[in-house]
Structure 1
Amino acid sequence: MIQLYDLLVNRSLSSSFSGMITFREGQLLTGKITDLFLDGTAAVQLKNGVFTAKLETALEKGKTYVFEVVSARSGEQPVLKSSDSLAHDRDWPKLLQKMELKNTSEHLRALSFLDEEGLPLTKGLVTASALLMKHSDNSEPKLDRAVLQKLSDLQLQPSKAVVMGLKNAMQGTHIQDDMQVLFDTLKNSDLRFPAASKTAALLKDYLFLQQSEENQENPQMKTRVPSSIQPVENFTAAAGVKESSSSMERPAEKHLLLSAGEKNGPALTQAVKEFFKQTFEQFIKTSGIHHEHQLLKPLPDKGDPADSLKMVLLALIEDKEAPPAVKMQAEHLISKVTGLQLLNMPAPADHSQQIYMQIPLPEGTFAKHLSIIWEGKKNKNNILDKDFCRIWLWLELEELKQLGVDINVQNKVMAITFFSSYQGIEILAQHAAEELKPYMSEMGYQLSSVSFKQHSGAQQAGTLSEKNQHLRTLDVKI
């Protein structure tokens, strides 16, 4: 499975994942002086650009110093100044003393990492960077940088739960895989105490709803899922999707796909739309993603927040009967939910918003995983402007494997790009695109283009730069 961090970093428009720094007054940054001017200012090269600095002490061109942000007004270039007490070339012990932090090897390593990555030198980020180094099994500099920058943008106080929650949400497995591991652990342990039974039942609803004959906790969902999946199965059976993808390029197979689309296309579109809509709404309501927010207001008709996934997991951890292996898996899943909560927090000083979700899909459906990123500027009502936004969907499908959908909306004009290793994806999507045009028109949107790009999932291990190069060399416009 592709790492969530790959989606956030490689496709994101927001500053937290694009490498841009959000300047705030009082921040300390290291920069190299590239030019000196007669008015007592200097050009300072930072990680993300060249900025103007007011010099308070004599500095040398070509050397690197610590600067303080003294002005960071929106829409204006930030103004930096040199500090008399910190105008030494990377005097980390003195800086730690100023931050009232101990001069330890962990803090020195953390400062060096922030310096190398061009991040602000703050007490909070030094502490957070040290926590990442201490509690991470392996170091991934680009991922750690994104975690620290997101922490800085959200202006959060660092703690192990916050820092590792962000990292767990941005890296590694999908939340559905973490649910599966905990469910298997509970099942194999044959635990009978109430907290274990309640957790297992809730996880079963997420993971095996359409297959579990004995599961009667949610009969409405039990009957809904098969009815939504049936049109999809009809289409794939008629289209011969389970055959080799290379065979879909043959004229006979193309005709078969087009015929299947004409016959089952409308039912397929409606089924998929309804399935994802209801699955998304159910997960938002029951996962605990917005649990802390919900506790602050009355819930007369919205159910008991104690039934959310997060609260059920917390109860499981606190139960004395829970064995260490179960508690460890539950803590990891809670960390993932916490990270998703943090990723969806708006940055206080940012006029843009990013919504990121991982949605678990029941086993046996046409899809395994779903990840969604929605980014855009806020309108005058302080909500996302749906007329100017970017939506990135990533699905792990049973037959088509990895499928990415990049939706770019500018002034209600929509461009859609599909990424897939499946050779016949453009044929499968042809009828869906035609049906999408009038539907978009009814809502006041215009579909300007639908394009397709090949993407191979074979090179999932390796660096981000390797993955980006792999994508570029395989781009094919159809």
Structure 2
Amino acid sequence: MMSSLNMVDSLLRQEKSIHSKATSFRPGQIFSGKVLKLFPNQIAEVQVGSGKVIAQLEVGLSVNDRHFFQVQSNDGQIHLKVLDVVSGNGKQPSVENLLRQMNLPVTKEHISLLQFFMKEQLPITKDTLQLAADWLKSSTSLQDSLESIKLILNKQLPFTKDVFLSLTSVLKNESFTTLMDGLKAQLSQVHSNGPTSIKLTALLNEMTQTDKEKMNSFALMKLTKEWIGSNDESQSKAAFHLLQKAGFLSTAANEAGLMNQLAEKWMDADGKSSSASTVAHSLVELIEGSRTGNRQQLIFSLIKLQEQIRNSSNPVDAKLLETLNQLLTNVKVGKVTPPLSDNDLLSVTKGVLRLQLTPANSMQNQSVFMNQALSILNGTEQAFTKISSLLTNDLAKHSSTFSSEEDALLSSIKRETQVMGVQWENSNAVNHQLKQIIRSLGLSYEHGVIDMLKNPEIDRTSQLESLKPLLMQLLADETSVPVKDAAEKLLYKITGLQVLSQEIGPIQQYVTQIPLSFSEMKTDLTIQWSGKKTDQGKIDPNYCRVLFYLHLSELKETIVDLQVQNRVMNIAIINEREDLKRLADPFLVNLKTNLMKINYHLSSVTFDKPLENKENIEIKGKNSTYIRPNNFNGVDFRV
């Protein structure tokens, strides 16, 4: 089995090989060291981990003794204070005594944490120990938390709780889909109609749906809009009947009753505390007046509704005003008496509701209204299966089932959905899709904000409405505890991936994980880019390495290790399947031809099985021409 195939986890846990840089000393730091040589004037050579340092000591010591040292100053020469003097034999000083000297309680947690710091040769201060101990109290995984603390110190990141939680979130390896689905579920339970919640829910739906689900949702949305919003009555009826035939509405459903139900939901969404002068309230009053047989209330509601529609910001609907005027006249002269007929009530209610889907209405108001409209439908699994069948099968097989209007509408929707999914055989389409997902996550949000400050005339609306800033805004708003917890988990996951992007000397290394959907499945794609920098600060496409990690429905865990040297490409595919080479052979000639079109020469494609008990990042390590970044000191991190 490919037991350690998680690329991000592997990258995070290989710190010893990547960060073997010289130890830096800052005043206040504490470390364990061994005295190697003594010189006059209390100068000593001290071994710290695998390195050595010449330091000025405050007291005389013996060779081969181990002690805890604290850096007093580093003004050209390191001055060390001995915190725990122990008689010879080279034994490790007591961590309990060190905790007492630091005025920290000698608890099991503090002892374990200090021992971990010493074992990993991490720089210690009283503040870092106290902060780390506080963070561990709320930790659900001690090992992940300790690894996160080690990463912060090794990578010289800000020692803050946000950075700690961000890295811990990545180490937990919860998929984006799981985290986004969790937040979606919490948002749906609170029924928030705030602008941030609406935008966030729409974005989460878009990012978590498979191509098949997107097609089905689009078809349902299109049919619902045509049913409620179309000015063409035959088109509206066709959409209504298709919703019935797919199972989203009962075949016995009363259209007027459904419109009345939607009007009441719309009023609730508009706010029960709103002024009674709103169109939604007036429409519900009209429906109530008709239901109770109150002629005076019905006349009053018709007059008020007419006036509100004339004065609204929406374009005047002459047909609706004519319908209202004719109905008002008929009620006044007694030609029509309450309750109104289904046809009369439907023509008014549907006409008013149709105004909510006109371009003059804001996208936010339209979104709220459509959510209410969709809530009166039966969105069962059977209904979505039926609509999917209608979209993918030959419509000629169902021709006897549909009227000409229904057939035309269904054919139109089918044409539109056929171009919705990613064309995976088109490299430009895939490139665009991956960039769009990265933008939607907000992985470049901070960079976009800086650009916006420098160039305020540039429209950055799309970046400001990506996932990260929307999560930040949601957390700034008052929200329920479950929503807050779900939003924080997702935000920390995104920030943790940003923290992993690093530059080490002339080598750049970026680790990105993004949610990806195929026809009927969801997965996370993990990509690591490594390579030399160009003069423009970008990864040199002539000399680089890219690793892709995927979990697929048929191939399961799969790594593609792509190495480029002087535009000569070697690809290693790491997977458990015995027959993968046979399955891939028919595609290799086409792969080589297409790579030549973009000036790359495919040298080899190998198929390997994962090595047992090896980190996936090291699978190709021995034979790789890839330059490991541990040759360089100093790290510059971008968040």
TM-score normalized with structure 2 length: 0.54
Quote the offset at 1:163 in angstroms. 0.6
Correspondence 1:160-309 to 2 at 5 A: 160-187=161-188, 189=189, 191-194=191-194, 195-208=196-209, 210=211, 211-212=213-214, 213-215=216-218, 224-226=419-421, 228=423, 270-271=425-426, 273-298=427-452, 300-309=458-467
Equivalent of residue 66 in structure 1, options 58, 69, 73: 69
Q: Pick closer, same or farther for the CA change 1:5–1:396 going to 2, 3 Å.
A: closer
Quote the offset at 1:26 in angstroms. 2.5
CA distance, structure 1, for counterparts of residue 114 and residue 67 of structure 2: 15
Q: Pick closer, same or farther for the CA change 1:69–1:361 going to 2, 3 Å.
A: farther
Tell me which residue corresponds to 1:329: 486
Q: Pick closer, same or farther for the CA change 1:82–1:6 going to 2, 3 Å.
A: farther
CA distance, structure 2, for counterparts of residue 70 and residue 377 of structure 1: 37
Q: Quick check: 1:351–1:378 contact (8 Å CA) kept in 2?
A: yes
Q: Pick closer, same or farther for the CA change 1:275–1:412 going to 2, 3 Å.
A: same
CA distance, structure 2, for counterparts of residue 5 and residue 421 of structure 1: 11
Question: What SS is found at the alignment partner of 2:459?
Answer: coil
Quote the offset at 1:34 in angstroms. 8.1
Correspondence 1:406-421 to 2 at 5 A: 406-421=561-576
Whether 2:578 is the aligned partner of 1:423: answer yes
* AA aligned opposite 2:511: Y
Quote the offset at 1:397 in angstroms. 0.9
CA distance, structure 1, for counterparts of residue 518 and residue 600 of structure 2: 34
Quote the offset at 1:62 in angstroms. 5.7
Whether 2:590 is the aligned partner of 1:435: answer yes
Q: Quick check: 1:66–1:86 contact (8 Å CA) kept in 2?
A: yes
Equivalent of residue 132 in structure 2, options 117, 129, 134: 129
CA distance, structure 2, for counterparts of residue 440 and residue 363 of structure 1: 24
Quote the offset at 1:69 in angstroms. 11
CA distance, structure 1, for counterparts of residue 584 and residue 183 of structure 2: 36
Whether 2:114 is the aligned partner of 1:114: answer no
Q: Pick closer, same or farther for the CA change 1:292–1:96 going to 2, 3 Å.
A: farther
Q: Pick closer, same or farther for the CA change 1:375–1:97 going to 2, 3 Å.
A: farther
Q: Quick check: 1:372–1:392 contact (8 Å CA) kept in 2?
A: yes
Quote the offset at 1:404 in angstroms. 0.8
CA distance, structure 1, for counterparts of residue 130 and residue 2 of structure 2: 29
C-alpha deviations, 1:305-347, integer Å up to 9, x for none?
4311122223333444x43222221121111112122222547
Tell me which residue corresponds to 2:475: 317
TM-score normalized with structure 1 length: 0.70
Correspondence 1:23-172 to 2 at 5 A: 23-26=23-26, 28=29, 30-33=31-34, 35-36=36-37, 42=45, 44=47, 46=49, 49-54=50-55, 56=57, 57-61=60-64, 63-66=66-69, 83-86=80-83, 88=85, 90=93, 105=107, 109-122=112-125, 125-127=128-130, 129-140=132-143, 143-144=144-145, 146-172=147-173
Correspondence 1:355-434 to 2 at 5 A: 355-362=510-517, 364-365=519-520, 368-434=523-589
Quote the offset at 1:382 in angstroms. 3.5
* AA aligned opposite 1:228: Q
* AA aligned opposite 1:276: V
* AA aligned opposite 2:193: F
Q: Quick check: 2:100–2:106 contact (8 Å CA) kept in 1?
A: no
Moved more, 216-225 or 171-180: 216-225
Unaligned runs of 5+ in 1: 72-78, 230-269, 457-464, 473-478
- Number of corresponding residues: 407
Quote the offset at 1:139 in angstroms. 1.1
Question: What SS is found at the alignment partner of 1:359?
Answer: strand
Quote the offset at 1:442 in angstroms. 4.8
Quote the offset at 1:376 in angstroms. 2.9
Q: Pick closer, same or farther for the CA change 1:60–1:222 going to 2, 3 Å.
A: farther
Quote the offset at 1:287 in angstroms. 1.5
Quote the offset at 1:289 in angstroms. 1.7
C-alpha deviations, 1:245-277, integer Å up to 9, x for none?
xxxxxxxxxxxxxxxxxxxxxxxxx33x34532
C-alpha deviations, 1:9-40, integer Å up to 9, x for none?
53579858746355334274645538547796
Question: What SS is found at the alignment partner of 1:396?
Answer: strand
Q: Pick closer, same or farther for the CA change 1:153–1:19 going to 2, 3 Å.
A: closer
C-alpha deviations, 1:132-155, integer Å up to 9, x for none?
422311211xx4454234323553
Q: Pick closer, same or farther for the CA change 1:68–1:59 going to 2, 3 Å.
A: farther
Superposition RMSD in Å: 4.3
Which of the two has higher C-alpha Rg?
2
Q: Quick check: 2:35–2:65 contact (8 Å CA) kept in 1?
A: yes
* AA aligned opposite 2:583: L
Quote the offset at 1:169 in angstroms. 1.8
Q: Pick closer, same or farther for the CA change 1:37–1:119 going to 2, 3 Å.
A: same
Moved more, 200-209 or 377-386: 377-386
Question: What SS is found at the alignment partner of 1:297?
Answer: helix
Quote the offset at 1:60 in angstroms. 3.0
